[in-house]
Amino acid sequence: MVGDRPADFLTNWLHCIFFPSQEVVSLCVGEPDFQPPPAVLKATVEASERGITKYTEVTGMVSLREGICTDLRIRKKLGYEPNQVVVGNGAKQAIYESVLAIVKPGDEVRQLSNLALTISPCRGRG
């Protein structure tokens, strides 16, 4: 079972029916099961104390995208510019924006309905 939250119902059902012997990663609610590193917590407090509390550009703060480019260049030897990087607020947004980037007018796109609230998990199976 992936989790006990209502948002995990669909994931649990699919896991039990289609992937009983495999690990399933839920993209439902973005609630990590670990604390952020101390440096991230400290930077969050410092930013809020400086008044950095408003929404950013949809693509993410330029300084963050620059930092990502620097990190990718150092760690992965990849050369990207900030205008080639998009920072999302979660997996669903990232997947949605990725689909928008590759789908062309006239393409057929199919989307599964969100059944999370209508399907109960199959606990105890498998």
> pLDDT of 8-28, one tens digit each?
666 677 677 777 777 766 666
Q: Is residue 39 part of a domain?
A: no
Residue 23: inside a domain, yes or no? yes
Distance CA 108, CA 111 (A): 10
Residue 79 lies in a domain: no
Residue 125 belongs to some domain of the structure: yes
pLDDT at site 97: 81
Neighbours of 21 (CB within 10 A): 6
> Within a domain: residue 122?
yes
Q: Taking the CA of residue 102 as centre, how many other CA atoms within 13 Å lie in the half-sphere pointing to its CB?
A: 6
Whether residue 101 is contained in a domain is answered as no
Residues 6+ apart with CB under 8 A from 11: 2, 3, 24, 26, 28
Give the domain extent around 126: 1-30+113-126
Q: Which amino acid is at 87?
A: V
Rounded Cα–Cα distance for residues 94 and 58 (Å):
11
> From CA 8, how far away is CA 26, in angstroms rounded?
7
In a domain, 43, yes or no: no
Between these two residues, 28 and 61, which has the higher pLDDT value?
Answer: 61
The whole model's pTM is what? 0.56
Total structural domains within the chain: 1
